[in-house]
Amino acid sequence: MGVEFSKTLSATVTPIPGVVLFHLPVHGDNRGWFKENWQRKKMTAAGLPDFGPVQNNISFNETAGTTRGIHAEPWDKFISVATGRVFGAWVDLREGPTFGAVFTAELDPSTAIFIPRGVGNAFQTLEDNTAYTYLVNDHWSSDAQSQYVFLNLADETVDIAWPIPLGNAELSLKDRDHPRLDAVTPVQPRKTLVLGANGQLGMALRAALAGHPGIEFATREEFDLRGPDAAAAGNWADYSTIINAAAYTAVDAAETPAGRPEAWAVNVTAVTALARIAVEHRLTLVHISSDYVFDGTSEHHGEEEALSPLGVYGQTKAAGDAVVATVPRHYIVRTSWVVGEGNNFVRTMAGLAARGVQPSVVNDQIGRLTFTRDLADGILHLLSTGAPYGTYNLTNDGDASSWAGIAAEVFELAGRNRSDVTGVSTKEYFRGKSAAPRPLNSVLDLAKIKATGFRPHPAADRLRDYVLDTLR
């Protein structure tokens, strides 16, 4: 009778970023052995990306020495041996500083390896009747195969020490003819798509990402998510991230018969289509939220506060937030009082100051300005640092102020008297006008995003620079 044995799960990082070697849980006795070949919960806890496999393939090789060429494929793979042994060789064929890096290892039924998209993999069987299996997170097709990147098995630069010399191995004709490393076109990183590219935030993202490879920008005219074929409009396997900077923001118009369905179409229906795309293709979705999802009765609003919108615009933004929260990889970035390129409150006040107008401005709505350059920087910080997914408040920092207080500051920066601005209540300002209800307190707690290492600039400093720039 055989002795019972058991082996626990462990993971080992390799010199190629993203490639992880696993020692699998194996349990055996006199009858044979059993292994946990794929166990999502345990393996993700041990360091395996939650890569969402959709297809399982098995490769059987009758004789030792069968060698399959170095192929980088447009999907992630989790590879393990069912029976026999293989020598595996992996070469980083992705664009970047580790292009050409090599890792080799012998795999048997007790080991497995995770290979991210763009890393070339090759196998040489060391025993007859060897079979290995692999999970992939996209469906094979002839179109997908056309995206493979190949490297010659005998490339002198990577110099793989094959246990069975290639002259004695079983190779396909194609694998013998693949290019050397200096002729390989590196696999490009997955792209980021920015929607709403001509809005205030979209323009700031254009500036922040100027010259950055792999970034695409689309206006609403170029990519309308409300169309029936929007989800099929692109090859989503080429993307990793969508930043949704598009929104319907006409707060008062949203209360009208014409504006209400438009607000719901842009802020909810289109966002639902985006969320579906993100879920189906395992994309990260960045979505911009608003202080209008709250009724403004709290002294300051944390990320976990219950949604309590007052008007149609706030209701559509709250509904969009609820949809995006169902996406496994999401950042909901909640902001307020946005200032960037184009028409906005600060630019309007600077224009009034220049013309000698003495405006009446609301003095009982309290909040902080958000300058789009900082909003863009904060979004890119969350993505680049891999901050935990979820909701983050993001405005500029410093003391809160009223709209009237900000207007007075603008007037002073423009060389006018602060007293030229008259403060009035929201009720008085909108008396006799058709207007959406506003939250009176829009101050957002910034502790969570600061804990990720991001430090928003003081609003007062950004306001001074913006006004002086506008007046030049």
DSSP 268: I
How crowded is residue 193: how many other Cβ atoms within 10 Å of its Cβ?
A: 23
Q: Cα(373)–Cα(111) distance, rounded to whole angstroms?
A: 47
User: Is 334 strand, coil or helix?
Assistant: strand
For residues 327 and 338, what is the distance between their CA atoms, to the nearest angstrom? Answer: 25
CA 290 to chain centre: 19
Whether 187 and 162 have beta carbons less than 8 Å apart is answered as no
Q: For the chain, give me the number of helices (H) and strands (E)?
A: 13, 26
Tokens of 461: 């400093």
Which of the following is catalytic: 71, 178, 301, 330?
A: 71
Q: Which of 23, 132, 134, 178 is catalytic?
A: 134
Q: For this structure, is 301 an active site residue?
A: no
Closest by CA to 49, choosing from 287, 387, 384, 282, is 282
- Does the annotation mark 134 as catalytic? yes
* H or E element at residue 131: strand 130-136
| Residue 107 exposed, middle or buried by CB count within 10 Å (0-12, 13-18, 19+) | buried
Contact between residue 15 and residue 8 where contact means Cβ atoms under 8 Å apart: no
Spatial separation of the C-alpha atoms in residues 246 and 285, rounded to whole Å = 13
Q: Are 187 and 117 in contact (CB under 8 A)?
A: yes
Q: Determine the Cα–Cα distance for residues 465 and 443; give it in Å rounded to an integer.
A: 22
Instruction: Identify each DSSP E strand in 139-276 by its residue range.
Output: 149-151, 191-195, 215-218, 239-244
- Measured between alpha carbons, how far is 411 from 434 in angstroms, rounded to an integer? 28
Distance CA 113, CA 24 (A): 10
- Catalytic site positions: 71, 134
